[in-house]
Structure 1
Amino acid sequence: MYQVATIREEEHEKLKKTLTNEDGNNLIHLAENFNHYKVWLVGEDLTESEQSLTSKGTLFIPLSQFPPQQKRKDCFYQTTPARLAPKSFGNLHSCENWLPRRVMSASRVAGIVHTLEGWNTNECGDQIFDIDKVWEATLLHGFRPLPTLRN
């Protein structure tokens, strides 16, 4: 079983409203013992003081389009949601200035895969794609996961 902890009360309340009772039981509001958690899912608004609450070796995984500022040299920072472009893509150098060469943001990859697969819908609203189907299609078209980066 996994637990998800939030450090901001307003985020905790907002998330709790979107979850079933069963899933909501795995969501906790964290007021102390921040260094117990080694993986943090964060937005671009992650502050330096919030980063200082974590222990050495913490992995920060951004959920937003833009990465948080990297303030800890003893922690790991994943890039924003992104994928390595297929080697078959020519004349691709960079799409966003915060991502390494030949890396595309997940939203751009999603648009390309949707087109290649002929999917005529999006994931806004009530329809959610089967994540396994999307993952397999992404791999099929040559997009690869990124390695974890150290600051």
Structure 2
Amino acid sequence: MPGNRTSHDNIVRVIALHKVGKNNREISKQTGVTEATVSRLLIKWRADGVGDKVPVHKHAGGKALKISPKTLKLLKRQLDVTPSITAKELKNNNPKLLGDVSIRKIQENIQKRLNYSKVKARVKPLVTAKQRRRRVQFAKGHKDWDLVQ
């Protein structure tokens, strides 16, 4: 499939088979990697100096992360200590680390990368059981009163 990455194990197998003296077609059949990929991997391997070093994938692309993994670890510690802290408070508490990061981006990272869900306020009853008992007791005690009383 186009766009799939070759696993590290397959890259090592391709290089090992090449060292044994197999040609690209034989390597391709044995590993299941296309001939073009075998050729490309071997060119990379030769360019690096033909040692035991295996070619590694570079960054997958895309925009760089605004919040580093170390900063996320610090945020996680702060959230564990005080779970009700807001993203705005986190930003104000860590101006050097989060000075150029928006509050929304902090919230997004907390939810997606740290797997903290949004906390919804608990639904409270309008009248508690204790209040309900007291009201009934009051009503029963005063049901015989007239308007003047």
TM-score, with structure 1 as normaliser: 0.22
| Higher relative helix content | 2
Give the number of the structure with larger relative contact order, counting CA–CA contacts within 8 Å between residues 6 or more apart: 1
When the two structures are superposed, what TM-score results if normalisation uses the length of structure 2? 0.22
The structure with more radius of gyration: 2
